[in-house]
Amino acid sequence: MGYLRKFEYKIMQKDSYKIIRNCSGCGCKATYINTNKFRVNANGKYLDVWLIYHCEKCKYTYNLSIYERIKVTDISKIEYEKFLMNDLQFALDYGKDKQLFLKNKADIDWASIDYYIVGDDMNFKKGDYIAIYNPQQLKIRTDRLLANILHIPRSKVKLLERDGTIEIMYNCFEGKIEILIKEEFI
Ligand SMILES: [Zn+2]
């Protein structure tokens, strides 16, 4: 694959995941959000740690299990302190950790995911190669993403792909989208 210039972009998740679940408080399905607080339960030499979510409307809580009955000595003192102090960055990191939600069988609200793009704002031309990395494998609309980066309407993304002006390659395994600009477009 030949190209003249190469540009790289990275998609980053803005906020914690939201969860959709039945809320006992509301009596229907509701959206749960990260309270950015932890609950720590020390029982002898064992420890449980949860990240606390709550219903957006009625504040009914739902705890996501981070650690279950681990030995106090299994985590570092720094980590333990961060849980106790409700360290905000730490809570956000857990709120964006997809594995935590999978482990808890919590339904992520994929429609509400907000992201930002890291990379230079560019005017592209023939011969450019663009790689967009999606390290967290967020489910996002490709046409919206490309419209954003290429500065064109969403409808035009499809047209350009169809007439061969741009070639889009999806590498799902690496969470990467590659675009080759094969003809000038404005
Ligand atoms: Zn509720």
Report every protein residue that has its C-beta within 5 angstroms of ion ligand 1: 23, 25-26, 30, 55, 57-58, 60
pLDDT digits (tens, 9 = 90+) for 116-132: 999 999 999 999 999 99
Q: Same domain, yes or no, for 48 and 78?
A: yes
Q: Same domain, yes or no, for 162 and 127?
A: yes
Token pair for residue 74?
């299994």
**What is the whole-number distance in angstroms between the Cα of residue 63 and the centre of ligand 1?**
14
Q: Same domain, yes or no, for 59 and 122?
A: no
Is 90 among the domain residues?
yes
User: Which has more pLDDT, 51 or 137?
Assistant: 51
**What is the whole-number distance in angstroms between the Cα of residue 34 and the centre of ligand 1?**
14
* Cα end-to-end distance, the chain, whole Å: 23
pLDDT digits (tens, 9 = 90+) for 70-85: 998 999 999 999 999 9
Helix (H, G, I), strand (E, B) or coil at 93: helix
Which domain-ending residue is among 112, 136, 168?
112
**What is the whole-number distance in angstroms between the Cα of residue 144 and the centre of ligand 1?**
32
The whole domain housing 132 covers 5-13+113-181
